[in-house]
Amino acid sequence: MFCNKCGSQVENGQKFCNKCGSRLISNVQTANNSVKCPNCGSGNIVFTPITTTSTEGKTKGFGTGKSCLGFILFGWIGVLCGLCGMGKGKSKTTTQTEVVRVCQNCGFRF
């Protein structure tokens, strides 16, 4: 680890810096060590961001209704316009980024 005041390298678990004598706070180290794997009990945990993508097909019903209405008003051209709108609505995707803890010992995610 490194001293957060002067930036010089110090050994892990050391309380004070050799160079400037300031008190060392091992923030990341202790945070990771406090987390234990519920599967194997290992303290070797890594925080990994994962991206999940979900597709919503909600607008399908709306699109069909729109094309029916289009047929009454404008004939086949109206139907085509309605179907175009349906296709656009279908491709709605939501992307979410979530941080998960991954055990380096057994690969368990929690």
Question: Which residues make up the interface to Zn ion (CB under 5 A)?
Answer: 3, 5-6, 17, 19-20, 37, 39-40, 42, 103, 105-106, 108
Q: How far is CA 31 from the centre of its chain?
A: 20
Instruction: Quote the least distance from Cβ 69 to Zn ion, whole Å.
Output: 57
Residue nearer to Zn ion on the CB measure, 16 or 62: 16
Per-position DSSP letters for the chain, written without gaps between them: -B-TTT--B--TT-SB-TTT-PBP--HHHHHHHT---TTT----EEEEEEEEEEEE-TTHHHHHHHHHHHHHHHTHHHHHHHHHHHHHHHTEEEEEEEEEEEETTT--B-
Residue nearer to Zn ion on the CB measure, 20 or 50: 20
Instruction: Quote the least distance from Cβ 16 to Zn ion, whole Å.
Output: 8
Residue nearer to Zn ion on the CB measure, 42 or 59: 42
Instruction: Quote the least distance from Cβ 96 to Zn ion, whole Å.
Output: 25
Residue nearer to Zn ion on the CB measure, 79 or 102: 102
For residue 79, give the amino acid letter.
Answer: V
Instruction: Quote the least distance from Cβ 42 to Zn ion, whole Å.
Output: 5
* Residues pairing with 16 in the sheet: 23
